[in-house]
Amino acid sequence: TLHRLENPGRVNLEIIEVQNGEYIGEDDIVRFEDDYERI
């Protein structure tokens, strides 16, 4: 599922990524380019 986050507040947003299941490798994650060339 493609999704995007926004933080309109003044407090820094902290993201915690959680994986579960038998395989939790990084090679199955697909990163998409941002429309505004952010990280």
Containing domain of residue 29, as a range?
1-39
- On average, the pLDDT of the chain sits at 82
pLDDT over 80 at 36, yes or no:
no
25 contacts 31 by C-beta, under 8 angstroms: no
Query: How far is residue 5's CA from residue 11's CA, in Å, rounded to a whole number?
Result: 14
Query: How far is residue 29's CA from residue 19's CA, in Å, rounded to a whole number?
Result: 11
For residue range 18-29, what is the model confidence (pLDDT) as tens digits? 888 888 888 877
pLDDT over 70 at 39, yes or no:
no
Q: What is the pLDDT of residue 25?
A: 84
pLDDT over 80 at 12, yes or no:
yes
Residue 11 pLDDT grade (very low, low, confident, very high; cuts 50, 70, 90): very high
Q: How far is CA 5 from CA 21, 22, 23, 24, 25, in A?
A: 24, 27, 25, 23, 23
Indicate the number of domains in the chain: 1
Residue 3 CA neighbour count, 13 Å, CB half: 4
